Structure 1
Amino acid sequence: MEAVVRTMTDGWRGRASAVVSAVVVLYVGRKIMKARKKTKQRKAWDSVGHNVVLLHQFRRGKFCPNLSPFALKVETFLRLANVKYEVDTESPFGPKGKCPWITLNGEDLGDSEFILERLASEFDVDLDSHLDPQKVATLEAVRVLADEHLFWCVITWRYWIDGCESFMKSQSFSPIMSLFFPPFMKRGIRSRAREHGIGKHTPEEIYRICKKACSTLSGVLGESPFFGGERPSSADCGIFGQLAQLRWNAPGSKYEALVTEMYPNLSAFCDRMKTRIYPDWNELLKSN
């Protein structure tokens, strides 16, 4: 009997050892593959050339070049500043886990505002040279309103309240992604919105907050072609990135109507930015 028990125990130990060995092999193999992929990616990123910005961002949308207002903000700045760049959509999340991020001369940098500051310094660019200090300060406050206030209204509506319905119309996903992406994002954004505080309001209250933000932006813009006056400033890049989400990535919604109907000067501003900075807009869009 002892011999039988010993044999069974040895068999269990052997199988357990085999399972552990297999898990270790799979884990090590995965690590090696990830390391090789990272090395290959780094080689590709560094091959774009000296002083060429590699912009890591989400894939193109159907109606707007990017679903991320911050990615659109950085790309708009790059174009306004005449900085040469290339786009990578395979690794949209950077060193801070945020999109977009850039690689410049082998260095990785995240957060759109830090990116713009670095680009302005690195390439000696000043998009605000035509503005007096008071106007620069005013536009910075307006930019913060858009980046930190309007942004939360839009994503809370887009992913939670609207359940990604309008959003899915503006993007192209595989059948599997179309099935699992909406509920995943709805849960995630609902949690983040509640932590932020805006998620504790009712849908109608969030809409009112968004409407007030648009009203403020409309009032600041007035009849000027751009927030920077006769030509775009650095603040225009960020404001455009946010308003573009309402103008093009909220099709058929009352959020789109805030720009196109309620405050048409904001829609006209978006169209001017599009015409001036993105002559290849239609070519950038994803066709299906």
Structure 2
Amino acid sequence: MCGAGGSLRSSRGKCMDVDQDVVLLHQFQRGKYCPNLSPYALKVEAFLRLADIKYEVDTKKPFGPKGKCPWITINGEDVADSQFILEHLTERFNVKIDNRLGQQKAASLEAVRILADEHLFWCVVTWRYWLDGCVTFLKSQSFPPKLHRAFPLFMKRGMKRRAKHHGIGLHSPEQIYHICRKDCATLASILGEDDFFGGDEPCTSDCSVFGQLAQLMWNAPGSHYQALLTETYPNLDRYCHRMKDRVFPDWDQLLDPPQ
């Protein structure tokens, strides 16, 4: 595991304790109901499992070279940004989980991935950190008391600024929820009665969609955002549990505290 201090270079040096070709996944600590508060960290971890790539987890240094979480270290090389990580690992390990997809299906799923990663994400985090002020979200985390008190103040101010720069923060709470609902409706229609967005088996795009939907399913307990899955679009509810069982059979043991 990496230490909490030191530069990225020295931290990477410590990470060389892992075996050759073993990915060190740097991410946030585990949550009470979901293995990660970051949809992108969950996306990368799901991909590593689907692709059967050996990895270890470091939670001491979650922010990488681009100041983002997650990032990985492999054979002394750092790779940041979840999508670049997946593309890098696909090439390095010759991952074939998307090979069965035709060109048109693969292109459609890339659009699904972008909707989840670049659109739905902003609805969820704007509500989580700014509009709701972390009240619901903190119920899903095992933060120490000091962080539990400071986290809402820090995140609400920062997210308000980021959301307004992005543009979504210029809308009313009702309009942001409306956008989120439309995104979920689109995903629900595309999924239909299929087991996964990749069909009978999950594909790379499923990692992105699951990473985002899991935040509604498990990190927004009792909220009207969670109800989008549990009540409004139940096929997305079933999908989340199907992905959890397929990719994370040890889900309960990964939680903090383990269940």
TM-score with structure 1 length normalisation? 0.86
Measure how far apart 1:37 and its partner are: 9.3
Between the two proteins, what is the percent identity of the paired residues? 63
Number of the residue aligned with 1:269? 239
Q: Secondary structure at the match of 2:66?
A: coil
- Pairing 1:73–2:43 present: yes
Give the aligned length.
Answer: 255
Q: Which runs of 4+ in 1 moved over 6 A?
A: none
Q: Secondary structure at the match of 1:102?
A: strand
Contact 2:185 2:233 in 1 (8 A): yes
Letter in 1 for 2:239: F
2: CA distance, partners of 1:131 / 1:108: 30
Q: How does 1:8-27 map to 2 (within 5 A)?
A: none
Contact 2:23 2:72 in 1 (8 A): yes
Superposed CA deviations along residues 157-179 of structure 1, whole A, max 9, x for unmatched, are 00011110111000011111111
2: CA distance, partners of 1:129 / 1:37: 35
Letter in 1 for 2:236: L
Number of the residue aligned with 1:101? 71
1: CA distance, partners of 2:109 / 2:31: 28
Q: Secondary structure at the match of 1:165?
A: coil
Indicate the structure with greater helix content. 1
Q: How does 1:122-161 map to 2 (within 5 A)?
A: 122-161=92-131
Q: Secondary structure at the match of 1:103?
A: strand
Give the counterpart of 1:188 among 158, 179, 182: 158
| Structure 1 residues 67 and 36, CA gap change in structure 2 (3 angstroms) | closer
| Structure 1 residues 204 and 37, CA gap change in structure 2 (3 angstroms) | closer
1: CA distance, partners of 2:144 / 2:21: 35
Q: Secondary structure at the match of 2:139?
A: helix
| Structure 1 residues 202 and 38, CA gap change in structure 2 (3 angstroms) | same
Number of the residue aligned with 1:112? 82
CA RMSD of aligned residues (A): 1.5
Give the counterpart of 1:233 among 179, 203, 226: 203
Superposed CA deviations along residues 227-257 of structure 1, whole A, max 9, x for unmatched, are 0000001000000000000010000000000
Measure how far apart 1:36 and its partner are: 8.0
TM-score with structure 2 length normalisation? 0.96
2: CA distance, partners of 1:248 / 1:176: 23
Contact 2:12 2:73 in 1 (8 A): no
Q: Secondary structure at the match of 1:242?
A: helix
Measure how far apart 1:153 and its partner are: 0.0
2: CA distance, partners of 1:231 / 1:177: 39
Larger Rg: 1
Task: Note the residue ranges of structure 2 that are not aligned, 5 or more in a row.
Answer: none
